[in-house]
Amino acid sequence: MRRFYLDNIRWATVVLVVIYHVFFMYNAEGVAGGFGKITDLPVQYYDVFQYAVYPWFMAILFLVAGMSARFALDRYGDREFFKRRTRKLLIPTTVGLFVFQFLQGYVNMSLSDVFGSEIGDAPRIVQFLVMALSGIGVLWFIQTLWLFSVLLLLVRKIEKDRLWNKCGRANSAALVLLAAPIWLAAQVLNTPLIVVYRFGLYGALFFLGYFVFSHDRTTEVLKKNFPAFAAAAVLLGVWFCARCFGENFADKPVNRTPLYTSYCWFACLAILGGAAKYADFENGFTRWMNRRSYGLYVFHYLGISSVALWVAKPGLAPAPAVYALSLAAGFAAGYLLNAVISRAPFFRWAVLGLGKEEKNV
């Protein structure tokens, strides 16, 4: 039985990611964005949107991915699961970098004026390799998810569902107390420069999704306690935004504090419970959004960053127009490139990881 609420969480979160990256591109508070401030405002209070969503929006995707991994393994088995995950996740983040995502690398490097440095004097092949690596961008999530999926197969061979069965007895108190190990996980396996690679935190969320939240009993606990979890998430979110606005929310010490991880955790519990209770359905709109959410995630940043490079950087439009154009370009690039590349032989496999049996979108 398909859990439609997980599909709805996925596509809705990807929409939030697109909006977040528009704010991030021109933000002036907390963390250096892709381009930087384009307004004359002394303080961009609307940048608080980033603080409101950043602690949990990638966390919920890893949690949902862990749950989905369990359901996929039950359906396909280990061998087919590995084959499908490798095609869908590893191929786009390796082969795809050299056949398409180098374009994203070019835009990123142009925004940062890298070509005016010693890279501009390097041989063309070296420039291309640097562009390809710079094109990873949002694909870090897909890379990390493939790694966790491979580790999961190894764990399954050892635990043979013994731990999974025990985790199915988690009650509301246990879910609340899991906030402590989430905080501990946030302290370890954080890469020092590229701060999005948080193997401790995101790995813990992925495996909790697999072991704890893939049980129907846990879903019922989440639905029952949704009002309490939602209230806790709202209170913690307001506290976090008020306390940390102006600080770098994406790096230490902020992203390793109990406040950050508690907000992350209770937001995830509230989203899972609320979606399971109120959004476990499918209609024409949700089906359309879900089928295209992966492509939207893969391509949206190219549209946003292109507007920053060719409109914002030369100052061709006022700030409100730049924001609007960037948002429109993010969705347009996501949906149009997905439609074109999903129909192109070889590219559909190399860039989107689509197999022959998967339909064009």
Interval 15-31: pLDDT, tens: 999 999 999 999 998 78
pTM for this one?
A: 0.95
Query: What sign results for the dihedral spanned by CA atoms 248, 193, 64, 354?
Result: positive
Q: Where are the alpha helices (DSSP H) in the chain?
A: 4-25, 48-76, 78-85, 95-96, 102-111, 124-134, 140-159, 162-167, 172-177, 179-185, 199-211, 216-224, 226-244, 258-278, 284-307, 319-341, 347-352
228's CB contacts (< 8 A; 6+ apart) are: none
Q: Is 164 exposed, middle or buried (0-12, 13-18, 19+ CB in 10 A)?
A: middle
Q: What is the DSSP letter of 253?
A: T
pLDDT for residue 255 is more than 90: yes
Residue 258, Cβ neighbours under 10 Å: how many? 13
Res. 357: pLDDT tops 80: no
Whether 2 has a pLDDT exceeding 90, the answer reads: no
Mean pLDDT lowest among 121-130, 144-153, 243-252? 121-130
Q: Structure tokens of 40?
A: 């004359």
Amino acid (1-letter code) at residue 296: L
State the pLDDT at residue 113: 83
Q: 111, 131 in Cβ contact below 8 A?
A: no
Asked if pLDDT for residue 33 goes beyond 80, the answer is no
**Separation between Cα atoms, residue 312 and residue 326, nearest integer Å:** 9
pLDDT band at 361 (very low <50, low <70, confident <90, very high): low
**Residue 112 pLDDT:** 86
Burial of 262-287, coded b for 16+ CB within 10 Å and e otherwise, reads bbbbbbbbbbbbbbbbebbeeeeebe
Q: Is the pLDDT of residue 148 over 60?
A: yes
pLDDT of residue 330: 98
pLDDT band of residue 212 (cuts 50, 70, 90) is very high
Name the CA dihedral angle for 57, 169, 189, 246, rounded to a multiple of 10 degrees: 40
Cα–Cα dist 160/39, whole Å:
56
pLDDT of residue 31: 80
Residue pLDDT, tens place only, 90-126:
999 999 999 999 999 999 999 988 877 767 778 889 9
Which candidate, 63, 194, 214, places its Cα nearest to that of 133? 194
Q: Per-residue pLDDT tens for 298-347?
A: 999 999 999 999 999 999 999 999 999 999 999 999 999 999 999 999 99
**Average of per-residue pLDDT across 281-301:** 97
What confidence score (pLDDT) does residue 346 get? 96
